[in-house]
Structure 1
Amino acid sequence: MKNPSQKFVEKLGLKDPEADVQREPAAKENERRNFLKKAGLGGMMLGGFMFSSIEDTLAQSTSKVNRNSAPSDLKITDMRYAVVMNGHARCPVIRIDTNQGIYGLGEVRDGASWRYAMFLKSRILGMNPCSVEQIFKRIKQFGFHARQGGGVCGVEMALWDIAGKAYNIPAYQLLGGKYRDKVRLYADTPEGNDEADFAARVNKRINDEGFTFMKMDFGIELLKGIPGTTSNSNFWDIGRQWTNEPMTYGGTEHPFTQVQITDKGLEIMTQRIAMVREKIGYEIPLASDHYGHFDHNNAIRLGRAVEKYRLAWLEDLIPWKFTDQWRQISEAIETPTLTGEDIYLKEEFIKLIDAHAVDIVHPDLATSGGLLETKKIGDYAEEKGVAMAMHFAGTPVSFMANVHCAAATQNFIALEHHSVDVDYWTSLVKTKKPMIEKGFANVPDAPGLGVELNEDVVKKHLDPEHSAYFAPTTDWDKERSWDRLWS
């Protein structure tokens, strides 16, 4: 029977000089010396092997192996942030550190405050980041719809990044595995200075950049200052959709403006769609967005007027919360309806789906609850025969979180890429393979989210008002209150 040292020698693929008893003493001694050199363990260490158990031998021989982590012993030790400019939008990126040197990256939704995330720091310090759902249930009460959900979602992204690194697997695998190796993207149709310039830009989108799915805006902002195109625009400034001051057009929910579109206005709006359809053809799906603020009756009127252009969907015609009005719109028109980018958590999506109010749900992962909650939304929608597209407008950190979720969700259609024309966008991070190729995102096989920040580039594009790069945040370490929601 072979002793442990003989088994170990054979495992290394070396010849034991003691086994050849016929060799000359001098030759045996030379062979012994060569053996020790090849083993690379040193005479003293090998001597220890010869008189140790298999368990001790293996422990000693692997003592210098780099173990990424001991997941059950991981603890959150810190959370910091850096506010990155993604074009004109502020995008707070957070970093959660642990006691084992592993860290995770997440992102608060574009345009939101980093405070939504930092408020959560004192509530997660000391917890095991691999207990993602436990931490999510602890903090989800502090999120809400639209940008207010960004902090909870950013933390959830970072936790999956840590968990994947701890177990050395990509995040999608922790969600149950992937359905696809590439994620289809959709991009905005670019604007041009004139029709020829527009045609050239569209050609670049399709032929050079390779996008197979497009979206356009054609709202009543186009009608500003054109007599006879809208009613009640003598009171509301229909060109100020993106304001948010109280009692302004932009800050008033759609049903309460009572703006109406005339036949002349509809004709101008549909002419814009016709121009885009002429340039891209009908083979490529064309979705639409940003119509302005008018009620569900005018939404139906608009929907019927554009049916011949076979749009992929009409997005956010009215606020998502008016479920009954959404159902009336969807039942009255043929073009698919879609909403959801400002909904936090699955419960409100379930209401829309159960009421058959929309044809497609459209969560933004940085608002809807993060990777797992968004997958739950997609899975529920799938059971009810509803598809899911995904809204996104942030840095590559949040983008890759979306890619993992989209890869793991069967009823997924396409993911928005809102930064095609931001020239430094892809260089904000480092990845093992290109993030995007010909209109599709590559699903990474690297651990966690599969992305690391390119520090030099990120530092060049920090928000001038918040130019610190992951500075200490000790002021948030002990900000506590009695948070339990039940007695």
Structure 2
Amino acid sequence: MHTPSQKFLSKLGVAEPADPHDEKPLDNRRSFLKRTLGGLALGGFMFSPLEDTLAFSTSKVNRTSAPSDLKITDMRYAIGMNSTGRCPIIRIDTNQGIYGLGEVRDGASWRYALFLKSRILGMNPCSVEMIFKRIKQFGFHGRQGGGVSGVEMALWDLAGKAYGVPVYQLLGGKYRDRVRLYADTPEVEDPTEFAAKLKDRLEGKGYTFLKMDFGIELLKNTPGALVNDNFWDVGRQWTNQPMTYGATEHPFTQVQITPKGLDILAQRISQVREAVGYNIPLASDHYGHFDQNNAIRLGKAVEPYRLAWLEDLIPWKFTEQWKQITNAIDTPTLTGEDIYLKEEFIKLIDAHAIDLIHPDLATAGGILETKRIGDYAEEKGVAMAMHFAGLPVSFMANVHCAAATQNFVALEHHSLDVPYWNSLVKSDKPLIEKGFAIVPDKPGLGIELNDEELKKHLAPEDKSYFAPTPEWDDNRSWDRLWS
């Protein structure tokens, strides 16, 4: 027959005490309770209220966090290098020792994120939407959206760790366990070498979706291929100095492609199609700066090759011009990597101006805002591909968003030729297997930094590694947008 104290121990999941016939049973029982309950007096244990006993007996259990008590205490950064240049990683610390990782858009300044530090110190990082609404006024299109987006990523990483679940679960769960990637392939002037590089992505690396560039840079030394290239240097697409070709929006260059130029570009795509076949989706990008009329002519010239899409033919903001292009050609059109927040995507979608949207999560406003963009597009019958050219922190933010968004098509991977890229973080699963990202099950983003490896690939002008940033602690501005 069990005594009251034995029944009470049984309810707590504690083993029954020693056999009463054993020598010194009471001493044995006391010793057992002392070991199990950290020295709580036997009488106090037996006669205390149940809730007090449970609180004491679990006081030394290691919990991930108490989410309601979390407070942001610091934000620090380190700048990693990628094939696309500088990629700042931020770390948001808390009063409980857990932290969240985020990444500012590739090519952007870490200052876009650190500027926000004074506005979020002391807040609970699990209040992701509240903090996002507080800071979103400080983002803008292009790389200027990188600060808000990077902070938002880090908050979700923190919230997932605090509650012990992957980020996709906080978004409503996942549609897929693997996220399809498309392999970006920068221009190589020799077409045979370029086709071989694309083929290696298929057969060597296992990708099932490709993207290529075939812009008018390839025509810069070809007489009779372009009109107005006696004034503009079309080989300088990536400059941003005022009044240069690279810094001049497409409708204002008045560059035109001649029939000869169109034939050369079409021939290049033909060679690639011959190398990779037609069963593989083949997207395209980086055509140069020319207006919507020439975009339509180019789109019609490449229609026989059934490209997955024509990307960023003109700047995203010219909605009516996009609609003219989309209505005039049969190849799908796509834009959006430089758009901040959902409102401008809504304009393009509602106008039926493009066939697919293409947000970059590190500009668009982060994980939840990108999912909202995808969900709105889905309701209107528009698919979503995702642009990405950063490091594994931002990559995993994209993976969680893509896993949780139904109309997702494919996520860009821009760093296949960077040998150390996968080693910059640690994960219990491979980041990528045969052209698919593996959706993690660990809390938060599911990764941790590989400090030793990342320190080898820091920006040459700033080798600091998550050093203190007290100069960003004080908020010196009244930021409310209304009176």
TM-score (normalised: structure 2): 0.95
| Pick aligned residue for 1:45 from 5, 15, 40 | 40
Q: Distance in 1 between matches of 2:311 and 2:196?
A: 26
Q: Aligned match of 1:313 in 309, 322, 337?
A: 309
Does residue 274 in structure 1 map to residue 270 in structure 2?
yes
Aligned to 2:147: 151
1:7 paired residue number: 8
Out of 52, 61, 81, the residue aligned to residue 57 of structure 2 is 61
Distance change in 2, residues 1:56/1:4 (3 Å)? farther
> Shift of the alpha carbon at 1:68?
1.6
Cα deviation, residue 301, structure 1: 0.5
Q: Which moved more, 1:121-130 or 1:192-201?
A: 192-201
Show the counterpart of 2:181: 185
Could you tell me which runs of 5 or more consecutive residues in structure 1 were left unpaired when the two chains were aligned.
none
Q: 1:318: Cα distance to partner?
A: 0.3
Matches within 5 A, 1:183-262: 183-189=179-185, 197-198=193-194, 200-262=196-258
The amino acid that maps onto 1:395 is: L
What does 1:11-410 correspond to in 2, within 5 Å? 11-12=12-13, 14-17=15-18, 23=21, 27-29=22-24, 33=28, 36=31, 40-41=35-36, 44-45=39-40, 47=42, 48-189=44-185, 197-198=193-194, 200-410=196-406
CA-CA distance at 1:63 after TM superposition = 1.4
Residue in structure 1 matching 2:447, options 445, 451, 458 = 451
Q: Tell me if the contact between 2:33 and 2:39 (Cα under 8 Å) persists in the aligned partners.
A: no
1:10, distance to aligned residue in structure 2 (A): 6.3
Deviations 1:124-169 (A, max 9, x none): 1111111111111111111100000100101100110111111111
Distance in 2 of aligned mates of 1:178 and 1:2 = 50
For 2:426, the equivalent position in structure 1 comes to: 430
Report how far residue 451 of structure 1 moved: 1.1
Q: Provide the C-alpha distance between the structure 1 equivalents of 2:29 and 2:133, rounded to a whole number of angstroms.
A: 60
Query: Which amino acid in the other structure matches residue 235 of structure 1?
Result: F
Matched residue SS, 2:437: strand
For residues 134 and 43 of structure 1, what CA distance do their matches in structure 2 show? 41
1:5 and 1:484 map into 2 onto residues whose CA distance is: 62
Shift of 1:57: 2.2
Task: State the TM-score, normalized to the length of structure 1.
Answer: 0.95
Structure 1 pair 365–15 and aligned structure 2 pair: CA distance change class (3 A): same
Letter in 2 for 1:226: T
- Is the 2:179–2:436 Cα contact (8 Å) retained in structure 1? yes
**Cα separation, partners in 2 of 1:8 and 1:15, compared to 1, 3 Å:** closer
Aligned residue for 2:40, secondary structure, equals: helix
1:420 deviation in Å?
0.9
Does the Cα contact within 8 Å between 2:198 and 2:210 map onto a contact in 1?
Answer: no
Percent of paired sites with the same residue:
73
Question: What amino acid sits opposite 1:123 in the alignment?
Answer: R
Structure 2 Cα separation of the partners of residues 191 and 325 of structure 1? 27
Deviations along 1:388-437, whole A, 9 cap, x unmatched? 00000001000000001101110000000011111000111111111111
1:465 matched to 2:461? The reply is yes
Secondary structure of the 1:186 match is strand
CA deviation profile, 1:181-224 (whole Å, cap 9, x unmatched): 11000012366685665454333311231111000000000101
| C-alpha distance in 1 between matches for 2:53 and 2:37 | 14
**Matched position secondary structure for 1:77:** strand
Unaligned runs of 5+ in 2: none
> 1:303 touches 1:335 (CA, 8 Å); kept in 2?
yes
Q: Cα–Cα, structure 1 residues 172 and 374, in superposed 2: closer, same or farther, change >3 Å? A: same
Paired residues of 1:5 and 1:49 also in contact (CA < 8 A)? no
Structure 1 residues 330, 246: closer, same or farther in 2, change over 3 A? same
SS in 2 for 1:96: strand
| Contact 2:183–2:414 (Cα < 8 Å) also in 1 | yes
Does the 8 A contact of 1:182 with 1:443 survive in 2?
yes
Counterpart residue type for residue 175 of structure 2: Y
Q: Which amino acid aligns with 1:461?
A: H
CA pair 263-94 structure 1, distance change in 2 beyond 3 A: same
> Aligned partner of 2:463: which letter?
S
- For 2:474, the equivalent position in structure 1 comes to 478
The offset of 1:102, in angstroms, is 1.2
Question: How well do the aligned residues superpose, as a CA RMSD in angstroms?
Answer: 2.0
- Tell me the CA shift for residue 43 of structure 1: 9.2
- The 2-side partners of 1:482 and 1:424 are apart by 43
Query: In 2, distance between residues paired with 1:234 and 1:178?
Result: 53
- Contact between 2:189 and 2:218, CA under 8 Å: does it hold in 1? no
Rounded Cα–Cα distance in structure 1 between residues aligned with 2:102 and 2:81: 15
Q: Tell me if structure 2 keeps the 8 A contact 1:16–1:35.
A: no
- Once the 2 structures are TM-superposed, how far is the Cα of residue 5 of structure 1 from its aligned partner? 4.7
Q: How many residues align?
A: 481
Tell me the SS of whatever aligns to 2:124.
coil
Residue pair 2:9, 2:16 contacting (<8 A) in 1 also: no
